[in-house]
């Protein structure tokens, strides 16, 4: 029977689901899969994006782990495609590749002052609080007042972590340096800004409701934002999710804190709607000193238009949570505009001609763009794998498809790769670190430490 030697690049949910789906699929050939991952630990943004105080979502790792633990997929962690292994290598040793490299960069927000000191991308902050090995250990949490720009769930995560008292994060897996940093934060006010109205937000109801449950944090909403137009009223009546969001916000309007009056908590969380970012104000030292926005109003066709009224809120830090963006991979077509690998249902296309590139497939956020939940990467992977199976005629014909060739190649290049046993060692080590403190785990952050623990050195 023919064997498909498949390389998958990226061990996030998209890559792992693709491997699982292929192994379980009805097919007329055997499969041998190698999963290459740039980090020494698998699970992508489930480990390094999903917030530490969302243990239920982090629990998806259990399902992903079961797939890896079956033992029919080889993992090569701490191996970066484009540096440690190249497209030519893959063509020499595999019949096909699926790229599942996700998106880790912040999308840009093109307003004056956005590059000032004290202005950050949400993705970098998320990487810090989730213990990503490739970001600095310390984060400058010196601001009393902070602006968060964006009305999606990442904005909510950033807002919640900034506003929450550090001790309330202690039961989670946050690394020690993150706890220390947040503990010392002098923050009192976090302002969240969205261009559109309460009925147009991209938050999901559960995540929004959670904001209102933070200890010693008052929710502040402003009556002027709730003067709904016809489109908003229709959205609330016709869409269950919008209805629940409206109900949550209306309940907050009855609490002390509305229009900033009557709250007693030591921290406040302000939601500003109909607010288009205009400028980040910068002081003489080049540091963020304020956030200027323009009041907007509905344009009658589902969008917004500016009113010309400018307002300024004094803040010392700005976090933009306006979306993630994919990164190009060496020798792989890339769509610069959308930050994805150009593809038709997961079959990679040449960037200029739209013709299929044989042997190359994509799945997950690098295929579809950085929208959607973990569950969506599963349906995504099904589509990609279906094309991979049906595309047998266009697979590469490798010179040396032997499984031994890959460890030999990596060893020859001096790559310190980690494997599944190594991941188990690191996993156990992290669980062990948490045990004396009654915590589920404490993450190991430095890359060299992760690698040496994994490799049993």
Ligand X SMILES: Cc1cc2nc3c(=O)[nH]c(=O)nc-3n(C[C@H](O)[C@H](O)[C@H](O)COP(=O)(O)OP(=O)(O)OC[C@H]3O[C@@H](n4cnc5c(N)ncnc54)[C@H](O)[C@@H]3O)c2cc1C
Q: Where along the sequence are the contacts to ligand X (CB under 6 A)?
A: 9-15, 36-39, 44-46, 49-50, 54, 57, 80-82, 100-102, 126, 154, 157, 324, 329, 364-365, 372-374, 377
Of 313 and 444, the one with the shorter C-beta distance to ligand X is: 444
Q: Is 170 annotated as a binding residue?
A: no
Integer Cα distance of 304 and 310 in angstroms:
15
Of 116 and 158, the one with the shorter C-beta distance to ligand X is: 158
Integer Cα distance of 100 and 435 in angstroms:
34
Q: Is 445 annotated as a binding residue?
A: no
Of 52 and 198, the one with the shorter C-beta distance to ligand X is: 52
Of 198 and 326, the one with the shorter C-beta distance to ligand X is: 326
Q: Is 177 annotated as a binding residue?
A: no
Of 117 and 168, the one with the shorter C-beta distance to ligand X is: 168
391 burial via Cβ count (<10 Å: 0-12, 13-18, 19+): middle
Least separation in angstroms between CB 191 and ligand X: 20
Least separation in angstroms between CB 306 and ligand X: 29
Q: Is 207 annotated as a binding residue?
A: yes
Least separation in angstroms between CB 301 and ligand X: 30
Q: Is 317 annotated as a binding residue?
A: no
Integer Cα distance of 249 and 231 in angstroms:
18
- CB-closest chain residue to ligand X: 12
Q: Is 153 annotated as a binding residue?
A: yes
Least separation in angstroms between CB 12 and ligand X: 2
Least separation in angstroms between CB 158 and ligand X: 8
Q: Which residues are annotated as a binding site?
A: 14, 37, 45, 151-154, 195-196, 207, 365, 372-374
Residues making up the binding site for FAD:
14, 37, 45, 365, 372-374
Could you tell me which residues are annotated as the binding site for NADP(+)? 151-154, 195-196, 207, 372
């Amino acid at each position: 029977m023919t064997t498909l030697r498949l390389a998958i690049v990226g061990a996030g949910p998209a890559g792992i689901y693709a491997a699982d789906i292929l192994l379980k699929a009805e097919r007329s050939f055997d499969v041998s899969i190698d999963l290459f991952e740039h980090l020494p630990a698998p699970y992508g943004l489930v480990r390094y994006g999903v917030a530490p105080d969302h243990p239920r979502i982090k629990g998806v790792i259990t399902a992903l782990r079961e797939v890896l633990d079956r033992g029919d997929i080889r993992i090569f962690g701490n191996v970066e495609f484009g540096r440690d292994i190249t497209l030519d290598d893959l063509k020499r040793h595999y019949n096909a590749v699926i790229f599942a490299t996700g998106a880790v960069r912040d999308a840009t927000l093109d307003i004056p002052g956005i590059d000032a000191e004290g202005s950050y991308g949400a993705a970098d902050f998320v990487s810090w609080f989730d213990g990503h090995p490739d970001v600095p250990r310390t984060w400058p949490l010196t601001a009393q007042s902070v602006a968060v720009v964006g009305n999606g769930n990442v904005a909510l995560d950033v807002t919640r972590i900034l506003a929450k008292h550090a001790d309330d994060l202690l039961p989670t897996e946050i690394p020690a340096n993150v706890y220390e940093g947040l503990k010392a934060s002098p923050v009192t006010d976090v302002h969240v800004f969205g261009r559109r109205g309460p009925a147009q937000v991209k938050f999901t109801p559960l995540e929004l409701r959670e904001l209102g449950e933070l200890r010693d944090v008052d929710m502040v909403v402003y009556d002027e934002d709730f003067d709904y137009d016809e489109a908003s009223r229709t959205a609330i009546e016709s869409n269950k999710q919008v209805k629940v969001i409206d109900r949550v916000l209306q309940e907050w309007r009855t609490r002390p804190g509305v229009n900033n009056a009557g709250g007693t908590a030591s921290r406040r969380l302000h939601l500003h709607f109909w607010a288009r970012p205009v400028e980040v104000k910068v002081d003489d030292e080049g540091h963020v000193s304020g956030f200027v926005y323009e009041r907007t109003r509905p344009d009658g066709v589902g969008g917004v238009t500016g009113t010309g009224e400018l307002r300024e809120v004094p803040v010392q830090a700005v976090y933009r949570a306006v979306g993630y963006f994919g990164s190009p991979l060496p020798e792989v077509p890339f769509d610069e505009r959308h930050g994805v690998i150009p593809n038709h249902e997961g079959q990679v296309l040449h960037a200029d001609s739209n013709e299929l590139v044989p042997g190359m497939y994509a799945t997950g956020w690098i295929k579809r763009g950085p929208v959607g939940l973990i569950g969506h990467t599963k349906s995504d992977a099904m589509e990609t794998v279906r094309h991979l199976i049906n595309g047998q005629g266009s697979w590469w014909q490798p010179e040396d498809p032997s499984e031994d060739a890959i460890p030999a190649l990596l060893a020859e290049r001096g790559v310190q790769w980690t494997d599944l046993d190594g991941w188990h060692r690191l996993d156990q080590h992290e669980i062990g670190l948490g045990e004396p403190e009654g915590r589920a785990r404490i993450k190991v952050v430095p890359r060299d430490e992760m690698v040496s623990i994994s490799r049993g050195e």
